[in-house]
A = this chain, B = another copy of it.
């Protein structure tokens, strides 16, 4: 069913993907879809996960910089294969397992490359903007120790599972909270992250300017 939805979106665009239209495509009555997804939002989440699943896995043998580059470009390729994906990803606020998994593995690449958890945190933010646009809250803390209602034991189990599944994200979150575990879940300082990435770019711009950088335009078809 998700496959059908993705194909339909590829064919007619995301706006034309309605529960009714998708049902028709599947030769089924609209309400039948609700036996598989709770609502349309969940359908979109699923579709996004399909696209994210197309991102090639990390190659741990690669140097961190090459590895990250390859990973991000692979993500870009996946998104470009489905023109509707960018908009869909940006409209989602949920952190599905696919999103968390991708983030965690990317964070792992940085860590193995010698980045501190702290620095990893910030560069992930800076990169986040590049990978899926302007989604500050994307990195906000998942409910590892935030919500109160569920029983303390369930809570523990959930946290443990999270720690096992996404060790790097947890590590980063802890680092971001300054080692103060109780503060985990308060979210990031978005303004800091924004300026961090902005200044990184501006400094890069300046370096290119002083060295008289110019694109290879004109000779051959450009770009190496």
Contact = CB atoms under 8 A, between A and B. Distances in A.
A133 B129 contact: yes
A110 B132 CA distance: 26
A156 to B, nearest CB: 27
A134 B90 contact: yes
Contacts of A194: 76, 130
Interface in A183-220: 189, 191-192, 194-195, 197-206, 208-209, 213-215, 217-218
Given A91-B87, A119-B209, A192 B133 contact: no
A223 B192 contact: yes
Instruction: Quickly give the copy total for this chain.
Output: 2
Interface residues of A, number: 52
A28 interface: no
A65 interface: yes
A204 B205 contact: no
A43 interface: no
A68 B206 CA distance: 12
Interface in A2-32: none
